[in-house]
Amino acid sequence: MATQTNSSSLPQPLTDRAVRRLGRKRITRAALRAYAPVAVLLVLGILIALANPNFIELRNLVRVANAAAVPLTIAMGTTFVILLGSIDLSAEGAVAVGAMVLVLLARNDANTHDFGWLAVLAAVAAGGIMGLVSGLVQTGLRIPSFMATLGTWFIGLGLATYMLGGSAVRLMDPALRGLALNRFAGLPVAVWVALGAFAVAAVIQTQTRLGRHILALGGGEDLAEYSGISPARVRLLAFTLAGLFYGVAGVLAASQLGQSNAVIGDGRLFAAVTAVVVGGTALTGGEGGVFNTLVGVLIVTVLSNGMVLLGVSPYVQQTVQGLMIIAAVALSLDRVRQTIVK
């Protein structure tokens, strides 16, 4: 995003009427965008429940929650980056690194380490470092986020493949397996961890300066910079934050599968970006947030659970997911403001 401006391009103050006109239009559109995903989720839930009542069984809702845990945690990170108007493709690589660090440091069947919960800390930190690297590459070398994170994605995959010696290493620590296997108040612990990640993300977005700065930067980087925000610093923090969430997701994925391999993150990038976009966060940045993403993740998860319940052919399922992301972007784009498509 361009940060170079000169004084002649300083924004001119808007007239009162223009502000009012802009405000009214934005509010209705914003309201539509905020509630449309919730409506979609409800309609989807009702339709599936009508077709197969098993859907609303408590047991199945628990399964839906369990299937949503990892995507939700990943999508929390991706949301902040997309709010900036950037894109983060590194999720699969960072998840693989997080899962790899966890499994190699906790009790496993490849080495003699047994660091227990310290391994979890290390895994989350490793995810954070991956994010920090993405941020540094982007701000330091001035490489677009698309390329920078594509790079860290493959760095992460390579690293995980190399460290795991090309095979699957199993997680043998019963306490860590317990994240997926033990339940608290009827829900697997992993679901509580994902909800915790959501709560942290919500606090960051609504209660901290970083959260407001991310939104401000996504809304208009030059404006934000004139108001004294350092874009480089906010970017670094946002990407690092995303990496931390990917690290947590890596821990959850490894504990669910009881193993770590380099492809543990496969397919999760698509799910996360779909969830963010379907939830109503604009790819252009500055609009939406983690609450939208929670709804988006539920839509994506309910839909894939529902399609299996309804016996939809596996090949149609992928097509439906592809159509969904295109439809969501098509609905959320403000074409009036968009003059160039590239």
User: Which positions lie near another protein, rule CB under 8 A?
Assistant: 52, 54-55, 57, 59-60, 63, 66-67, 109, 157, 160-161, 164-168, 170, 180-181, 188, 253, 256-259, 261-264, 266-268, 304-305, 308-309, 311, 314-315
At a CB cut-off of 8 Å and minimum separation 6, what does 180 contact?
188, 189, 190, 252, 255, 256, 258
Least CB distance to another protein at residue 82 (A): 23
- Which CB, 83 or 307, lies closer to another protein? 307
Is the Cβ–Cβ distance between 234 and 240 less than 8 Å? no
Nearest to 131 by CA among 168, 94, 164, 96: 94
d(CA 163, CA 339): 47
- Which CB, 68 or 204, lies closer to another protein? 68
CB atoms within 10 A of CB 167: 11
Least CB distance to another protein at residue 19 (A): 48
At a CB cut-off of 8 Å and minimum separation 6, what does 272 contact?
71, 74, 75, 78, 91
Three-class SS state of 142: coil
What value, to the nearest 5°, has the Cα angle with vertex 92 and ends 328 and 173? 125
- Which CB, 29 or 170, lies closer to another protein? 170
- Which CB, 57 or 334, lies closer to another protein? 57
d(CA 210, CA 58): 38
Least CB distance to another protein at residue 309 (A): 5
Least CB distance to another protein at residue 332 (A): 26
Three-class SS state of 128: helix
- Which CB, 67 or 241, lies closer to another protein? 67
Q: Alpha helix (H) ranges present in the chain?
A: 16-51, 58-83, 91-105, 117-140, 145-163, 174-181, 189-207, 209-219, 221-226, 231-257, 268-278, 290-309, 314-332
- Which CB, 73 or 281, lies closer to another protein? 73
Least CB distance to another protein at residue 169 (A): 10
Nearest to 291 by CA among 99, 35, 94: 35
278 HSE (CA, 13 A, CB side)? 28
Least CB distance to another protein at residue 305 (A): 5
- Which CB, 134 or 259, lies closer to another protein? 259
Least CB distance to another protein at residue 4 (A): 38
What value, to the nearest 5°, has the Cα angle with vertex 35 and ends 72 and 235? 50
Question: CA-CA-CA-CA torsion for 11, 15, 20, 22, nearest 10 degrees?
Answer: -40
Least CB distance to another protein at residue 254 (A): 11
Least CB distance to another protein at residue 215 (A): 32
- Which CB, 165 or 196, lies closer to another protein? 165
- Which CB, 14 or 51, lies closer to another protein? 51
